[in-house]
Amino acid sequence: MAYKMLFSPIKINQMELDNRIVLAPAHEGLATLDGFVTPAFINHYLRIAQGGVAMMVLGGVAINTRPFPALRLSDDKYIPGCKELTDRIHAETNTKIVPQIYDWLKVKRGWKQKVEEVPVEQLKESIDFHEAGALRAREAGFDAVEIHAAHGYLLAGLLSLRNHRTDEYGGYMEMESPSQERIARLAHLYDEFGGNIDARMKLTVEIYERLRKALGKDYPIGIRFNGEDFIVGGNTLTSTRIIATKLAALGLDYISISAGGKLEDSPGTDPYGLPYAYPPFGGYSGFRCMPQGEMPEACNVFLAEEIRKTVRAAGYDTPIMTAGRITRPELAESILQDGRSDLIGICRGLVRDPDWPIKSKEGRGDEINKCRYCNACLEAAVRGEGGHCKYRQEGNLGKVL
């Protein structure tokens, strides 16, 4: 078979994947404004699943409110619609389906609310929101949950080196050996000493531990976070390697490495006037998150590669996932063969052509309709028009006939 590793199975906790291709989380704007599944939402994901992807991560599923047509798990009333979705996917395909749950807190209270300004009580409340959302996800038949700790949201803000909180959720900082004077002088190097990483990880760890207790040891829990923030003073591999190793030690079942998408360098707002980090309104970090056609192929894989190396050297075999302009099956195969990642995340390529996996498997890679990485799908999703590819001649994935 062509692409031997790409089409080899992998087990994530008790969840068995047919191959290594994952739909990287993509907010598609097809839920109702108040967060319910729609027929177009189901059709969209069913069509992607029919193309043979092993697992689909649903982007940004809110565990509390958000003013956007995004799926929610913030109340029991959302469970039946989600159950209808998971039942359809499971009945008609072999694809696993996983919500990426997140707290919109960091941006919901105003333009660029600083992570330093969030009161501790709200952080504690977020643990409850995550637990309740994850329990609803399991009840609705999802195969796993993914904790969203990437980009510009609450957990990413806390994990970042740009988190200058002075309490136990930031801790500027505890170091055993160097003097305070030396710390001040070498502030930019804190992470080389591993100084405040535990404090920055505190909420993420508390959430993971609560989820594990609530969901049990056999239910897969993954996480997505930034391998590099791509903002001045933000996280780089120096700290993210350590964070990943600690997460692996905790027992996370997979680690998905994203990049950028930060609000700190964003000059703009979205069409609704809300803070926005991604193309075309965001800054450089936003463009690293959803790399456009002018960026090299696979431009963020080096992050997963370095993290994987560190995690493996520490003795953990936690599957690592990469994403970002992985355009061709031979490229995906070589990333796996070279041990740079265990899972291949593809987002826009599958929106352009959901049959990317099956065409690759059948040696028809040259028939894949190529994504232009123009981000028109993203802009359409943000406008609330559904994250469609305008170049897809067959029409919207979610079209309701």
Ligand X SMILES: Cc1cc2nc3c(=O)[nH]c(=O)nc-3n(C[C@H](O)[C@H](O)[C@H](O)COP(=O)(O)O)c2cc1C
Residues of the shown chain interacting with ligand X in the complex, contacts defined by CB under 6 A = 24-27, 59-60, 100, 148, 150, 224, 258, 289-291, 323-325, 345-349, 377-378, 381, 387
Q: Which is nearer to ligand X, 57 or 183 (CB)?
A: 57
How near is the Cβ of 102 to ligand X at its closest, in Å?
8
Q: What's the rounded Cα separation, in Å, for the pair 258 and 109?
A: 25
Count CB atoms within 10 A of the CB of residue 60: 22
Best CA proximity match to 6, nearest among 275, 348, 346: 346
Pairing of strands 15-17, 10-12: antiparallel
With tokens 């170049």, the residue in question is 391
Q: Which residue is nearest to ligand X (CB)?
A: 59
Q: Which is nearer to ligand X, 69 or 291 (CB)?
A: 291
How near is the Cβ of 391 to ligand X at its closest, in Å?
14
Q: Which is nearer to ligand X, 208 or 278 (CB)?
A: 278
How near is the Cβ of 372 to ligand X at its closest, in Å?
11
Best CA proximity match to 387, nearest among 19, 28, 117, 67: 28
How near is the Cβ of 123 to ligand X at its closest, in Å?
21
How near is the Cβ of 20 to ligand X at its closest, in Å?
14
With tokens 């000493």, the residue in question is 193
How near is the Cβ of 69 to ligand X at its closest, in Å?
12
Q: What's the rounded Cα separation, in Å, for the pair 277 and 302?
A: 22
Q: Which is nearer to ligand X, 220 or 324 (CB)?
A: 324
Q: Which is nearer to ligand X, 220 or 349 (CB)?
A: 349
Q: Which is nearer to ligand X, 252 or 290 (CB)?
A: 290
Instruction: Name the strand (E) or helix (H) holding 97.
Output: strand 96-102
Query: Going by C-beta distance under 8 Å and a sequence separation of 6 or more, which residues neighbour residue 218?
Result: 13, 14
How near is the Cβ of 100 to ligand X at its closest, in Å?
6
Q: Which is nearer to ligand X, 186 or 274 (CB)?
A: 274
CA distances from 375 to 199, 215, 245, 349, 360 (A): 36, 36, 33, 11, 23
Residue 275 backbone class (left: φ over 0; alpha: ψ -120 to 50; beta: rest): beta
Q: What's the rounded Cα separation, in Å, for the pair 268 and 298?
A: 27
